Amino acid sequence: MSTLVHLSDLHFGKDRPDLLEPLVSCVNALEPDIVAISGDFTQRARRSQFEEAQDFIQRLNAPVLGVPGNHDVLLDRPFQRFFMPWRRYRKWINTDLTPRFEDDDMVVIGINSVDRFSWQTGKLTAGRIAHACKAMDDTAARKARILVVHHPLQHPNHTKKKPIPGADIALEKLLSCGANLILSGHLHTWHAENFTVESGGTTAIQLHAGTSLSSRVRGEPNDFNLVKITDDQVCVDRLSFNEDKRAFETTEARTFNRASDHQISNEV
């Protein structure tokens, strides 16, 4: 069995400093094989915010795979945003915008969904999708194929943000390439279920994390996900911050059958 911790939307610069120690301690105590962070390391892509994000990453014992979020490119400095959007991200987080991690049970592949010209909605180009598909094609058939992307490819019904343009087409392509689980953030809301696609049949699991550190919550507690991968199941635990206990604790648990990707249990 392999384990993965999924964090998202840290938003250093608009974070809750009182959550930092509980988060680091909890993640390290879980001893995951990999920590995946689905974007928005910073609030406004300032140098000091990236430095804080880098310090946080260095305190985690497990290797970290991250992808940029829209907040990780400068919004208020058009020249830098248009002509050198990834300069600060590459300096403090990772030079690779589409990283890859693999062990005996899974391959984790990052996809950059940020569009410097459409700051909020994002974009998945044909090239980005093809790169992810090639990475999945190069993986042994028995391994779980996990994608990490900032912008969700489907939104829960209660959200008001517009989905990424061309999300349905991108999702169909990524599913046809063998994606089993897609991790995302951006919405600051937690969500775990199977994707719904027009073609029907076997689909992947969509797992959204809320915000792990930001004070910009939308009626939900700060949280993150623990994902356990076995030969036939994907088990998801949502760990939410308990304000009274001052600690992250499991508040929901879902189990999906990897063979069919159908959810088989829902526990609280």
How large is the average pLDDT for residues 165-194? Answer: 93
Provide the β-strand partners of residue 37: 7, 66
How large is the average pLDDT for residues 185-207? Answer: 85
Measure the CA angle with vertex 9, ends 183 and 48; round to 5°: 140
| Whether 181 contacts 234, CB under 8 Å | yes
This prediction has a pTM of: 0.93
Give the model confidence (pLDDT) of 5-18 as tens digits.
999 999 999 999 99
How many alpha carbons fall within 13 Å on the CB side of residue 261?
Answer: 22
Token reading at 4:
């993965």
| pLDDT > 70 fraction of the chain, expressed in percent and rounded | 92
One-letter amino acid at 52 equals E
Task: Kindly report the number of other CB atoms within 10 A of residue 48's CB atom.
Answer: 11
Whether 81 shows a pLDDT value over 70: the answer reads no
Whether 174 shows a pLDDT value over 90: the answer reads yes
Whether 231 shows a pLDDT value over 60: the answer reads yes
How large is the average pLDDT for residues 39-58? Answer: 97
Whether 259 shows a pLDDT value over 90: the answer reads no
Whether 246 shows a pLDDT value over 90: the answer reads yes
For residue 83, the 8-state DSSP code is H
Give the model confidence (pLDDT) of 25-45 as tens digits.
999 999 999 999 999 999 999
